[in-house]
Every structure is written in C-alpha cells, then in structure tokens.
Structure 1
Amino acid sequence: MSTQHRPRRSCLYMPGANTRALEKARDLPADTLILDLEDAVAPDAKEEARAAILAAVKAGGYGKREIVIRMNGLDTPWGHDDLKAIATSGAHAVLAPKVTGHRDIERLSTLLKEAGASDTMALWVMIETPLAILNIKDIAAASIGTHLTTFVMGTNDLAKEYRARMTPDRLAFQTALQLSIAAARAYGLVAIDGVYNDIKNENGFRDECEQGRDLGFDGKTLIHPSQLEEANRIFAPSHHDVEQAKAVIEAFADPANAGKGVLKVNGKMTELLHLEEARRTVEMDEAIRALA
C-alpha cells in the first residue's frame, strides 16, 4: 500500500505495559496502532513494557494495521535504548515526543540510521510544546532528507503548557492546529489530530472529529477502542464524495473536454485543481477498502 494514501483515520494508543491490550489490538479495526512506551507506562515498568512491545511486534498477527511505537524522550533514561530497539523492531514508525525544532528531527533521524533503521521506517513526532508551534515550519522543512513523515498533535500537553482550557470549540488551540496543518501540507507530511479525553461523551467526540476533518487532519489519535468506529467513518470520504470524485475524473477524461480547464460536473463548477483532489479521494477510498 502506498504510504501517501495509507488510511490513518484512527490511530489508537495502546499501553505497552498491558500485554492483554497488545493481544486485543490484533483484532481491533484501527488503521494505526500506537504502542506506547511513554505516557501510558510508569517509570518502573518502562523496560518491561519495551520488551513486551518488541515481542508483540515480532510475533506479528496485526494484519494490515500500521504499527507505530512511541518512545520516551531522548532526555530520559530510556529514550536512547527505546530508539535503538525500535529501529530494527519491524514497526513501521517510531513516534518521538517533545520535539521543539529542526535539530531534534535531524538528531532523531541520524540516530535511527545509526541504529540500523531501514529507509522505509518513518519518524512521527509529537507537536505538543509552545516552542514546537513557534518553530513548526522549520520542523516540517527538516523532513527533507530525513525519516520525518508525520505530525501528531499533543493537545493535552499543549493545554498544560498554554495554561488553557480545553473547551468544545478548542478555541485556545486553533492557531496551533492550523499552523501545524499548513506546515504539514507545505512539506507533504501527514497530520493527525490530538486525542479526545471524555470517552463517554459520544456527541462531543463526534463534533471534535468533524472539526479535525474540516481543518484538514488525516485522522485522529484515540485513547479507547469505543472511539474507532466513529473516527473511521468521519475521516473516510463519504459515498457522495467518492461518487462526485469519480464523476470529476470521468469528465476531465472525456475527449470532448480535452483542453478545458473548467467544467460543470453535476451542477458544480469544477477546475483542474479539483481533479487532483478527486484522484486523491478515490485513491483513499480504494485504500480503505483494501484494509477490509
């Protein structure tokens, strides 16, 4: 499956210290599993959790799900060992916390290479500090020539650092979210929205997913399997969107429309820029169907 069009509608955090959860994850309908060594693991369980995750990934059985392992920061006692182990673990990507500038990306990528990571292993990074937001363009630009492919918004950490309230409209984080999207798109990166904490508030979760989708995020990080179905639905192209996209592609492929830059498709004025988006929509729909 093309990395560019791999669905990442649902990126579910799974605690690395919970071997039962790692086993259960093999049957969950998540596009991506983030096996967590950082926030979800107590300090005295870090090394045991690392061993459990490495064993689970080696054992396989996760099907077409993308496997990402979140490491501890390089400034912790476990970070360097985490990175070395993840580099050759068979995971698709490593997720690094607390990056603040382009030098962090360059250092992480260099360490991955030195640890034997393949060229296809991706570096995901948490965007969760005020300094990361202020440096977001430089962080994205550092993807050129490195392993960096993906931003993951750490809205809980941003709330703490901002001393901001997490309101339903996420007013305090709109600048951070939009700047991160702009930087990601400018440099061809994937952007994943932050978690929603109130597991039982289904309406609130739906509204935040829809807001993230409307802002341009590719998917959402999740903290409970109950959130999977709704995230998968909201971040997938709708049936109407797919049918309209196919109509746009067919219209521009019609020899009668050769050389035209603007067409009317199903009553909508459609330009060549819409053709590119239509192709992306159809390719994403096909990639989602391939996961089934």
Structure 2
Amino acid sequence: MTDLRPRRSVLYMPGANERALEKAKGIDADALILDLEDAVSPDAKVEARDRVCAAVASGEYGHRELAIRINGIGTEWHEADIAAAAAAGPDAVLVPKVNSAAEVLQLVAALEANGAPAHTALWAMVETPIALLHAEEIAAAHERLTVIVMGTNDVVNETYGLHVPGRNPVVLTAISISLLAARAAGKVILDGVYNDVKNAEGFEAEARQGREMGFDGKTLIHPSQVEPANAAFGPSEDEIEHAKSMIATFEEGKAAGQGVVTFNGKMIEELHVRDAHRILASAEAIASR
C-alpha cells in the first residue's frame, strides 16, 4: 500500500449543521466526512447538499482531508448528490451500502460523467451481509476506489445482533473479512464508529482493538474521540525509536555478513524491517500534515 496519508481520525460532521461545519475547521482530525446521509433529515437534504459543497469549495479546512458522504444508490437524492459532489471536487466521495463490484463501477462512471477531478477518490462503505460476502470483489473493483469504510452499526442491525463490549463475533468476523479484502487489494480501511460518546475508556479499548487488527484509522461521531484516535492509530515515540533501532541493527548485521540478525534477543527478518520502515513513513506523514 503506497497511500500513507494519515487517516487515524475520520470525523463525521452533519451537513445540515452550519455551526458544526464551522467548528470542524478547528478540530485536529486527519479527515472529515461531511455527511448528507444519516445525519440529515429528508427535508433538509437539498439545503445540506448546497452547504457541504460550499464548505468544500471554501478551502478553509487546512490539512484535513475532506470527503462528502452522499445518499446511497437507489435513493431519491443519490443522482443529484453525486453530481453536486463531483462538481465540488472534494478529496473523496463516500457512498454507503456499496454491495458489489458492479456498483463500484457504476459509481466511478457517475463521478467521471459528472466531471469529478482526478484527485476525487471513491470511498465505499461495507456494511451489509451481501457486501461482506463480496468484500474482496468490491475492494479490487477499480483503482479510483481507495478507501473501505466499515459500517459496523449497520452490520449489527442487519444481522439482528447486539452491541456488546469488545464487539460481537459476527462484527469481528465482518471487520476481519473486510480488512483482509482491503489489504489484498492494497486499499486503506477505516474501522467503524463507537456509539457511546461518554465512555472514553470503552472508546480507547475499541480503538486499540482496531489498531491491533490492522486498521488505518477509525471513523468518529464526536470531536472528543479525535485525540484518542490519533493516539491509538499513530506510532508512539517508543515505537518510532524501536523502529529506528531495529533498522540500524539489521543494516549493521547485513553489512557484517551475518546470516541471522537478532534485535533485543529476537531474530528479525526483512518482513520485520519492512514493518519498521512503514512505521517511520507513517510518523513522517503525520508530522508533515
């Protein structure tokens, strides 16, 4: 995967709320999803569409990557949403409930037909049973699709499951399958949201779980979740120093002709060094936002 742009914290902001969109300019999230779907009532969707597109055009969001979440395929707002979003030219257009590779191709064609600039990527939400069963095909369908976003609330809803601490087995299966699909296709993948915004300890535990699984970052529903997400998904100072020391030890061993190199009492190979380089590249990308 070559896309190292930081996406540790990806915050949903309601597109109908002008005050929230203004506040977002000062929130230290890596990315913002300006939402036209779940966060906007049906009678406010047209106004929200205009407001979100104007926000993108303002250029006032600094380092933050901007995505517009439009309404899904088959809804009455979808075609107007994708046309407006393509014209606005955000960093990405996020589409909910993408269920097949054919839908990915349909969305790419719509972006191109509506004049979306080359820098506007497609992000797809994987959140239904049918999508999960075809996650690999979706992730690999087109190069313009760069990010997979987990819709874990919908996974729970559509499988009749329960929200439990640590996540129920079906959700863990769903996010594992999707992560494997994303990595096989060389795509970024973002973990789903954590609903209990007042439970900081619970959020930190779930973010840590997502990082341990290999997610690039987490989608968020409240600004208070940004700082702990940045901490969970970004390399710590200890990790950075560990990576530097490992690389130096490995290079010294190779230069000395050693067939086996040990670091802190453990054998290390090229794969460990590649991971260390990835950590340093991630830290550099975060520092240069």
Instruction: Tell me the distance in 1 between the aligned counterparts of 2:41 and 2:103.
Output: 25
Q: Deviations over 1:127-177 (max 9, x none)?
A: 11000001111111213xx41011111011111100000111212311101
For structure 1, which runs of at least 5 residues remain unmatched after alignment?
A: none
Tell whether the 8 Å contact from 2:250 to 2:268 is kept in structure 1 after alignment.
no
Task: Tell me by how many angstroms 1:255 deviates.
Answer: 7.6
Native 8 Å contact 1:136 1:183 kept in 2: yes
Q: Tell me, yes or no, if structure 1 residue 169 matches structure 2 residue 162.
A: no
Contact persistence 1:37–1:72 (CA under 8 A): yes
Any gaps of 5 or more consecutive residues in structure 2? Answer: none
Aligned partners of 1:9 and 1:31 also within 8 Å: yes
Q: How far has the Cα of 1:260 moved from its partner?
A: 5.3
User: Counterpart amino acid of 2:246?
Assistant: V
Return closer, same or farther for 1:49/1:258 CA change in 2, 3 Å cut-off. farther
- Give the length in aligned residue pairs: 288
Contact 1:262 1:272 in 2 (8 A): no
* TM norm structure 2: 0.96
Q: Work out the CA distance in 2 between the residues paired with 1:5 and 1:114.
A: 29
Cα distance between partner residues in 2 of 1:80 and 1:36:
16
Between 109-118 and 259-268, report the one with greater CA deviation: 259-268
Shift of 1:117: 1.5
Change (3 A) 1:264 1:94: same
Question: Which residue in the other structure is 2:219 paired with?
Answer: 221
- Once residues 259 and 231 of structure 2 are traced to their aligned partners in structure 1, the CA distance between those partners, rounded to angstroms, is 33
Runs of 4+ deviating beyond 6 Å:
none
Whether 1:289 aligns to 2:277 is no
Match of 1:84 in 2: 83
- 1:49 has 2:48 as partner: yes
Query: Residue 252 of structure 1: CA displacement?
Result: 3.4
Q: Which amino acid aligns with 2:204?
A: R
- Residue matched to 1:35: 34
Which residue identity lines up with residue 124 of structure 2 in the other structure? V
What code does the residue aligned with 2:15 have?
A: G
Give the % identical residues: 52
* Aligned mates of 2:257, 2:80 — CA distance in 1: 57
Q: How far apart, CA to CA, are the structure 2 residues paired with 1:10 and 1:33?
A: 8
Partner Cα separation in structure 2 for residue 45 and residue 185 of structure 1: 37
Paired residue type of 1:222: L
Using the alignment, how far apart are the partners of 2:268 and 2:126 within structure 1? 35
The one-letter amino acid of 1:248's match is M
Give, in whole Å, the separation in 2 of the partners of 1:186 and 1:165: 29
Structure 1 residues 262 and 177, CA gap change in structure 2 (3 angstroms): farther
Map of 1:169-188 to 2, 5 A cutoff? 169-171=166-168, 172-188=170-186
Structure 1 position 242 matched with structure 2 position 240: yes
